[in-house]
Amino acid sequence: MSSNDSAEVIKQCLQVLESITSDSSVPRNIRRSVNEIMDILNNESEPLFLRAASSISILEDISNDPNLPLHTRTLIWNLSSQLETIPVDE
Protein backbone atom coordinates (compact mmCIF):
# COMPACT_ATOMS: atom_id res chain seq x y z
CA MET A 1 0.00 0.00 0.00
CA SER A 2 1.45 3.36 -0.98
CA SER A 3 1.44 6.38 1.29
CA ASN A 4 -1.18 7.95 -1.01
CA ASP A 5 -3.45 4.96 -0.37
CA SER A 6 -2.89 5.27 3.37
CA ALA A 7 -3.63 8.99 3.23
CA GLU A 8 -6.86 8.21 1.39
CA VAL A 9 -7.83 5.68 4.08
CA ILE A 10 -7.22 8.32 6.76
CA LYS A 11 -9.26 10.86 4.80
CA GLN A 12 -12.20 8.45 4.47
CA CYS A 13 -12.01 7.54 8.15
CA LEU A 14 -12.03 11.20 9.14
CA GLN A 15 -15.19 11.73 7.09
CA VAL A 16 -16.94 8.86 8.87
CA LEU A 17 -15.72 10.10 12.25
CA GLU A 18 -17.06 13.55 11.42
CA SER A 19 -20.48 12.07 10.68
CA ILE A 20 -20.43 10.25 14.04
CA THR A 21 -19.65 13.46 15.93
CA SER A 22 -22.56 15.24 14.26
CA ASP A 23 -25.01 12.40 15.07
CA SER A 24 -27.10 13.49 18.05
CA SER A 25 -28.10 9.89 18.83
CA VAL A 26 -24.49 9.10 19.79
CA PRO A 27 -23.76 9.65 23.50
CA ARG A 28 -21.54 12.59 24.38
CA ASN A 29 -18.74 10.50 25.88
CA ILE A 30 -18.44 8.54 22.62
CA ARG A 31 -18.43 11.73 20.54
CA ARG A 32 -15.65 13.00 22.80
CA SER A 33 -13.62 9.84 22.12
CA VAL A 34 -14.29 10.17 18.40
CA ASN A 35 -12.96 13.75 18.53
CA GLU A 36 -9.86 12.40 20.26
CA ILE A 37 -9.39 9.90 17.42
CA MET A 38 -9.75 12.68 14.87
CA ASP A 39 -7.05 14.68 16.67
CA ILE A 40 -4.75 11.64 16.68
CA LEU A 41 -5.28 10.95 12.98
CA ASN A 42 -4.66 14.61 12.10
CA ASN A 43 -1.41 14.76 14.11
CA GLU A 44 1.16 14.52 11.34
CA SER A 45 4.11 14.65 13.74
CA GLU A 46 3.45 10.96 14.60
CA PRO A 47 4.10 8.08 12.16
CA LEU A 48 1.00 6.99 10.28
CA PHE A 49 1.00 3.41 11.60
CA LEU A 50 1.21 4.69 15.19
CA ARG A 51 -1.74 7.04 14.66
CA ALA A 52 -3.72 4.15 13.19
CA ALA A 53 -2.83 1.80 16.06
CA SER A 54 -3.77 4.38 18.70
CA SER A 55 -7.05 5.04 16.94
CA ILE A 56 -7.87 1.33 16.68
CA SER A 57 -7.28 0.95 20.41
CA ILE A 58 -9.76 3.74 21.21
CA LEU A 59 -12.25 2.38 18.67
CA GLU A 60 -12.15 -1.01 20.40
CA ASP A 61 -12.96 0.64 23.72
CA ILE A 62 -15.82 2.57 22.13
CA SER A 63 -17.27 -0.54 20.45
CA ASN A 64 -17.66 -2.19 23.86
CA ASP A 65 -19.77 0.66 25.24
CA PRO A 66 -23.31 -0.62 25.93
CA ASN A 67 -24.80 2.80 25.13
CA LEU A 68 -23.43 2.82 21.60
CA PRO A 69 -26.22 2.78 18.98
CA LEU A 70 -26.06 -0.26 16.68
CA HIS A 71 -25.64 1.75 13.49
CA THR A 72 -22.68 3.55 15.04
CA ARG A 73 -21.15 0.29 16.26
CA THR A 74 -21.15 -0.95 12.66
CA LEU A 75 -19.38 2.25 11.55
CA ILE A 76 -16.82 1.80 14.34
CA TRP A 77 -16.08 -1.77 13.24
CA ASN A 78 -15.70 -0.64 9.63
CA LEU A 79 -13.33 2.14 10.70
CA SER A 80 -11.19 -0.35 12.63
CA SER A 81 -11.02 -2.62 9.61
CA GLN A 82 -9.96 0.22 7.36
CA LEU A 83 -7.29 1.46 9.76
CA GLU A 84 -5.90 -2.08 10.08
CA THR A 85 -5.01 -1.94 6.36
CA ILE A 86 -2.34 0.70 7.06
CA PRO A 87 1.04 -1.07 7.02
CA VAL A 88 3.46 -0.79 9.93
CA ASP A 89 6.47 -0.04 7.74
CA GLU A 90 5.37 3.41 6.54
pLDDT at 90 over 60: no
In a domain, 77, yes or no: yes
pLDDT at 77 over 70: yes
pLDDT at 3 over 90: no
Full domain range(s) for residue 8: 1-82
User: For residue range 7-24, what is the model confidence (pLDDT) as tens digits?
Assistant: 899 999 999 999 999 999
In a domain, 87, yes or no: no
Torsion of CA 65, 70, 71, 73, to 10 degrees: 30
pLDDT of residue 1: 59
* Residue type present at position 42: N
The span from the CA of 18 to the CA of 15, in Å, is 5
Q: What is the pTM of this model?
A: 0.91
When pLDDT is cut at 50, 70 and 90, the band that residue 89 belongs to is confident
In a domain, 42, yes or no: yes
Q: What total number of domains does the chain contain?
A: 1
pLDDT of residue 70: 95
